[in-house]
A = this chain, B = another copy of it.
Amino acid sequence: MSDGKTGLQLRSLIKKSGELEISLVSVPVPEPGPDQVVVRVEASPINPSDLGLLVGAADMSTATASGTKDSPVITAKVPEAAMRAMAGRLDESMPVGNEGAGVVVKTGSSDAAKALMGKTVAMIGGGMYAQYRCLRAAECMPLPAGTKPAEGASSFVNPLTALGMTETMRREGHKALVHTAAASNLGQMLNKICLKDGIPLVNIVRSKEQADILHNIGAKHVVNSTAPAFMDDLTSALVETGATLAFDAIGGGRLAGQILTCMETAANKTAKVYSRYGSSVHKQVYLYGSLDPRPVELNRAFGMAWGVGGWLLFPFLQKIGPAEGAKLRQRVIAELKTTFASHYTRVVSLQEALQLSNIAIYGKRATGEKYLINPNKGA
């Protein structure tokens, strides 16, 4: 339905009254500045990091649909206790969608911009759940010839996060990794990277099915956190790999503390002297997600040499600087159809993304249920 002059854009709004409203608005397609291009967005994934902005702290079990088929509106209640954390975005209608890919349909006057005309590019920068996105040419990453937008839609968040994990491991002096929710798209990428680079990786999953997914792509160490022998299995894998750094997507509950406890037990198996402060081996868990919104519970049965903290891609990229970041991006492009290939359950339009039945599925953030939005689907 787009005439190229206006386009639909998905917006998320949390009102001071405690109500979330997700809707589509029609916005003019901006005229690109000299260094800018306009991209017709054809693929943008719904990552857990997008859901944080899309639904915020709203309780989606209260969600209701209104509006029309072409212009659906979703509303839901934000629990009062969660409103404090929403203070910074109240009454501000926010575009959503961290990354995506599409075709450049209009360019500014600069050579760099003009060179992109007609090219399929990957983008990052927010506001991708929209039919058109205007951004600087330098912010577009041209995809190799023959790459479809759907294949390049997830070129940034997951690939760079996975590479950020192995890079953080090297920079902080660890030699192996632990990863949770390990059968996710991201987790599968991490396995491929680690297999290719010879990094021992301990995968923690929550079901036999997830374990099978990873075994099928060659994962060596997979432990199931719902198994009765979980702590022993994890400890054995940690002894074998020497992993003292974990990236945890779960966040809440006892898992981060259990990982530290098993790391400590593994470290003490080789310790020579008793110290009531525990081993002197530094054990680190970075929480990079929040699949479980409950509080983190740490029982501190792991000595004093430990840390737990937040980890985010963008601060990491800032820390390593643009030159190192460019190296990581080059690797992503080179291995886009192999190491960094993403898989989606469904491709939906903007309107379909606002159907309660779809929100119920992608809102679960469940492993293996990944949606891709094509804002120009059927347009």
Q: A56–B276 Cα gap in the complex (Å)?
A: 8
A310 with B307: CB separation less than 8 A: yes
List the 3 closest A-B pairs by CB distance, nearest first: A307-B309, A304-B310, A88-B274
B308 with A312: CB separation less than 8 A: no
B315 with A310: CB separation less than 8 A: no
Stretch from A188-196, A215-223, A290-298 contacting the other chain = A290-298
Chain copies in complex: 2
* Residue A73 at the chain B interface, CB threshold 8 Å: no
* Residue A305 at the chain B interface, CB threshold 8 Å: yes
Query: Known: A84-B301, A300-B295, A301-B84. Is A274-B311 also a contact (CB below 8 A)?
Result: no
B305 with A308: CB separation less than 8 A: no
SS class of chain A's interface: helix, strand, loop or mixed? mixed
Q: What is the total number of residues of chain A having a CB less than 8 Å from a CB of chain B?
A: 42
B307 with A312: CB separation less than 8 A: no
B311 with A304: CB separation less than 8 A: yes
Q: Which residue of B lies closest to A296 (CB)?
A: B298
Instruction: Encode A50-81 as 1/0 by CB contact (under 8 A) with B.
Output: 00110010000000000000000000000000
User: Cβ of A85: which chain B residues have Cβ within 8 Å of it?
Assistant: 301
User: Cβ of A303: which chain B residues have Cβ within 8 Å of it?
Assistant: 310
Instruction: Encode A296-330 as 1/0 by CB contact (under 8 A) with B.
Output: 11111101111111111001000000000000000
Among candidates B52, B268, B280, residue contacting A88 with C-beta atoms closer than 8 Å? B268
* Residue A251 at the chain B interface, CB threshold 8 Å: yes
